[in-house]
Amino acid sequence: MLCNCPTHELTAGLGNGASPLEPKRELKALLQPSRNWPMHQKACYVHQEQNLVIKLGSRYFLSGRNGVGKSTLLKAIAHRDNGLEEFPEDVTTYLFDQELRCMSDAREEEAVASYVMRRAMRRLEALRAEAAELERSGSMRSEEDAMDAEEACERLCEIYDLLDDLEGEAVSREEEVRVLLKGLGFRGGKENATISSLSGGWRARVGLACALIERPQILLLDEPTNHLDLRATTWLEKFLIKRYRGESLIFVTHDRAFAEVVATDIIEMADQRLAYANMGLAKFEEAKAKRATSTAVMQKNLDSKKKALEKQIRKQAELAAGSGSEKAGNRVAALSKKLGRTGLEKTADGKKWNAQKHGVRIGADNNNDGGWIKGRNGKKRMSAATHAKKNPQLGFGFKQADETSDDEGEKVFELRRPSFRYGDPQSSAFVLSAGEFGIHQKCRIAICGENGQGKTTLLKLLLGDLKPTRGEVKRMQGWRLFFMNQQSSEILSELSINPVELLMKETTKGVPELRQHLGRFGIIGAEALRPLKELSGGQRVRVAMSAGALRDPHLLVLDEPTNHLDMESIEALGEALANFDGGVVICTHDRALIKSVARDILLVEAGKAGIFQGTPEQYLNKFK
């Protein structure tokens, strides 16, 4: 066991993980209910069960919807703050975060390989400095400091032993750095590029290499596949399973295939609780679906039982009112009390309900999970963790086709051997060239290929942002396109207007209609009126898509649409795109989305673009 510490004080908006530039907002407890319970009820002690338990040799997938606090938990572990002050001090951790604060010591003009090697030897240099300081202070110590001298001597002996081991590993560490960088795509001299010359995506790869070379006891990875292509992602999967030398791993990802391959255990962060499962993702979801089905049956039986009790209460109340019978009045009171206590007979794991162990029954009116609404009991029917119900916040309201068809429809684009190059017009080295093919009204195409091979250039040619040096990209008239790239949601993060105000700039529709439209994309209630810069990344992606859908496009062109979305949202997006009443072109590395949407692969490889001769499944099988 590496760790078993309480987490119930984890709070959104606190800790070193929060940016000092961001204004402090209303605090929110992430792992305990924000309500008071009578002291005799089990629920008032629920915070005592919210412990972070990490076993030696396990790879944990931290699962949960956007906004539940997964990144906040990882940051709290790394910084030992925000409610996790009791995290063991002697257990080493390292956090690869999405903001790349882990690279704060990078020098802009330093070469990539030199920087990663410096990070690999950081502990060695720190021990050398500590040894030098102890040697210097020892020579100045008086005879009266004999006790301090003895302790310093013991520490020096420890350091010398560690230095012998680490200096012996120096050559192997250099080879390890080379292998890491090559696996993450730094080939052909790119490993010698300066940090300042790298894009945000390539900087993230450098940060990931630094994380993998650290070898802490617990490695924390927050969305490690965000900037990786399929080849680098599958390499990372194999590295973490077979070659990583740390003792345990906790990771957050929206890549379902990555989680299925890497995870040995699941930590689900939902309903302000941490739930543990000693199994992979596929088995966990299967078990969860079975529990949901069983709970739905119990809910149906519970509803019938409550209706029968309510009928008896009405009958006895009528009898009491008509005859003034005290016995009937007492019967009404007793039945009402019984109705308030009536809930599920079994717990989520199938055990018989025990009020002393489990508290108020789930589904009972006395268990007022719905809160008080205008002075009345909210009576939430079932906990979200136990009752399977379609969440309106997962939807993507693109226009859906009435029926599926293999008919591709008319051409929207026609590519006639276009080629494009940057720089000298006399050069014969083309950055990108393509064959002859069309993109049709009802297509389902996934643009795939390694990073740096020309996918972005191809998109710019399709959209008319670049003109071919040779050949032609012909766009047919009369077709409406919606294009969304990775910057579309980032631009929204700088705006103070709310989603409704944004959409009002695109249409003359009224506020009620626009709020309905946003609701179809999962932006419901107060979220539609919050400033865009205060929404989460996933919510801004939904707003950007809803704005594009207002134009009733015939063809969707989406560049990395899964960024900032959780797994359930990606699954819902895949379903919406597969059934969209129009054409879909997605540029993505997400294997689950490719499987659910694509009928064809437009492969960009070595500067050449063409339709892959095979099925999407056959293409993905190349990376197993």
Q: For residue range 237-258, what is the model confidence (pLDDT) as tens digits?
A: 999 999 988 899 999 999 999 9
Encoded tokens for 165: 């081991």
Residue 263 has pLDDT above 90, yes or no: yes
**CA dihedral in degrees (152, 156, 158, 162; nearest 10)?**
150
Q: What is the pTM of this model?
A: 0.81
Residue 191 has pLDDT above 90, yes or no: yes
Residue 491 has pLDDT above 80, yes or no: yes
Q: For residue range 580-597, what is the model confidence (pLDDT) as tens digits?
A: 999 999 999 999 999 999
Q: For residue range 17-27, what is the model confidence (pLDDT) as tens digits?
A: 444 444 444 56
Residue 100 has pLDDT above 60, yes or no: yes
Q: For residue range 69-98, what is the model confidence (pLDDT) as tens digits?
A: 898 899 999 999 888 888 999 899 999 998
d(CA 28, CA 13): 8
Given pLDDT bands bounded at 50, 70 and 90, which one contains residue 293? confident
The pLDDT assigned to 271 comes to 81
Q: For residue range 17-70, what is the model confidence (pLDDT) as tens digits?
A: 444 444 444 567 788 754 444 444 545 545 556 789 999 999 999 999 887 889
The CB density around residue 52, as the number of other CB atoms within 10 Å, is 23
Instruction: Kindly give the interhelix angle for 230-238 and 146-183, rounded to the nearest 10 degrees.
Output: 140
d(CA 306, CA 364): 10
* Mean of pLDDT over the chain: 84
Given pLDDT bands bounded at 50, 70 and 90, which one contains residue 298? confident
What is the total residue count of the chain?
624
Do the beta carbons of residue 365 and residue 49 sit within 8 Å?
no
Residue 392 has pLDDT above 80, yes or no: no
Encoded tokens for 533: 């810069």
> Average pLDDT in the 380-388 region?
44
d(CA 296, CA 511): 37
Query: Strand, coil or helix: what is 558?
Result: strand
Do the beta carbons of residue 418 and residue 474 sit within 8 Å?
no
Do the beta carbons of residue 185 and residue 450 sit within 8 Å?
yes
Residue 393 has pLDDT above 80, yes or no: no
